[in-house]
Structure 1
Amino acid sequence: MATIGTNWITEAFIDAARGVDAFCLHAVYSRDEERARDFAAKTGAGTYYSDLEALFGDDELDAVYIASPTRYHAEQAASAMEHGKHVICEKPLCSNEQEARHLIETAQKHDVVFMEAVKNLYTPGFQTLQEWLPKVGTVRKAVFHFSQYSSRYDAYLNGEVLNAFKPSLSNGATMDIGVYCLHPLQRLFGEPEEVKASGHVLESGVDGQTNVLLSYDGMDAVAAYSKITASNSPSEIQGEKGTLYIDTIHEMEHLTFVPVKGEPETVDINQQHPDMYYEAAAFIGACDTNDTTSLHWHDSQMVMRQTDRIREDLGVVFEADQLRT
Structure 2
Amino acid sequence: MKIGIVGAGNIVPDFLEASKNIEDFEIVSISATENGRERMKKLSEEYGIKNIYTNYEDLLNDDIDVVYIAIPNSLHYEFAKKAIERNKHIILEKPFTTTYKEAEELVELAQEYGIMLFEAISNQYLPNYKKTKELISELGDIKIVQLNYSQYSSRYDRFKNGDIAPAFDPKKSGGALMDLNVYNIYYIVGLFGSPQKILYTANIERNIDTSGVLILDYGSFKCVAVGAKDCKAPLSMNIQGDKGYINSSDAANMYNKFTFAKNDGTEKVFELNGGKERLYHELVKFAEYYKNEDFDKFYEANEKSLIVMKILEEARKQAGLEF
Q: TM (normalized to structure 1)?
A: 0.93
Structure 2 CA distance, aligned partners of 1:101 and 1:277? Answer: 27
In structure 1, the partner of 2:306 is 301
Structure 2 CA distance, aligned partners of 1:294 and 1:143? Answer: 28
Structure 1 CA distance, aligned partners of 2:87 and 2:150? Answer: 38
What's the CA shift for 1:117? 0.5
Query: CA-to-partner distance for each residue in 1:249-272, whole Å, 9 max, x for gaps?
Result: 221122112322232322233514
In structure 1, the partner of 2:17 is 15
8 Å CA contact 1:143–1:235 kept in 2: the answer is: yes
8 Å CA contact 1:11–1:43 kept in 2: the answer is: no
In structure 2, the partner of 1:45 is 49
8 Å CA contact 2:146–2:238 kept in 1: the answer is: yes
When structure 1 is superposed on structure 2, of 241-250 and 187-196 the one drifting more is 241-250
In structure 2, the partner of 1:86 is 89
8 Å CA contact 2:6–2:56 kept in 1: the answer is: no
1:56 is aligned to 2:60:
yes
Query: CA-to-partner distance for each residue in 1:200-247, whole Å, 9 max, x for gaps?
Result: 0112x1101110111113111111110111111421111111111122
Give the total of aligned pairs.
316
Structure 2 CA distance, aligned partners of 1:272 and 1:200? Answer: 35
When structure 1 is superposed on structure 2, of 259-268 and 137-146 the one drifting more is 259-268
Alignment CA distance shift 1:67-1:270 (3 Å):
closer
In structure 2, the partner of 1:190 is 193
1:1-325 correspondence runs (5 A): 1-32=3-34, 34-35=37-38, 36-58=40-62, 60-203=63-206, 205-248=207-250, 249-295=252-298, 296-318=301-323
When structure 1 is superposed on structure 2, of 4-13 and 33-42 the one drifting more is 33-42
What's the CA shift for 1:159? 2.9
8 Å CA contact 1:66–1:73 kept in 2: the answer is: yes
Q: TM (normalized to structure 2)?
A: 0.94
8 Å CA contact 2:142–2:242 kept in 1: the answer is: yes
What's the CA shift for 1:38? 4.9
Letter in structure 2 aligned against 1:261: D
Task: Provide structure 1 residue ranges, at least 5 long, that are not aligned to the other structure.
Answer: 319-325
Query: CA-to-partner distance for each residue in 1:123-175, whole Å, 9 max, x for gaps?
Result: 12212221222221121221111111111011112332222110000000000
In structure 2, the partner of 1:323 is none
8 Å CA contact 1:198–1:210 kept in 2: the answer is: yes
8 Å CA contact 1:28–1:49 kept in 2: the answer is: yes
Structure 1 CA distance, aligned partners of 2:172 and 2:155? Answer: 15
When structure 1 is superposed on structure 2, of 25-34 and 306-315 the one drifting more is 25-34
Structure 1 CA distance, aligned partners of 2:165 and 2:179? Answer: 14
RMSD: 1.5
What's the CA shift for 1:122? 1.1
When structure 1 is superposed on structure 2, of 133-142 and 17-26 the one drifting more is 133-142
Structure 2 CA distance, aligned partners of 1:235 and 1:12? Answer: 24
Give the match's secondary structure for 2:217: strand
Letter in structure 1 aligned against 2:283: A
Structure 2 CA distance, aligned partners of 1:292 and 1:142? Answer: 32
Letter in structure 2 aligned against 1:52: Y
Structure 2 CA distance, aligned partners of 1:283 and 1:267? Answer: 24
8 Å CA contact 1:173–1:207 kept in 2: the answer is: yes
What's the CA shift for 1:18? 1.3
In structure 2, the partner of 1:322 is none
8 Å CA contact 1:252–1:269 kept in 2: the answer is: no
8 Å CA contact 2:202–2:209 kept in 1: the answer is: yes
8 Å CA contact 1:112–1:290 kept in 2: the answer is: no
8 Å CA contact 2:128–2:270 kept in 1: the answer is: no
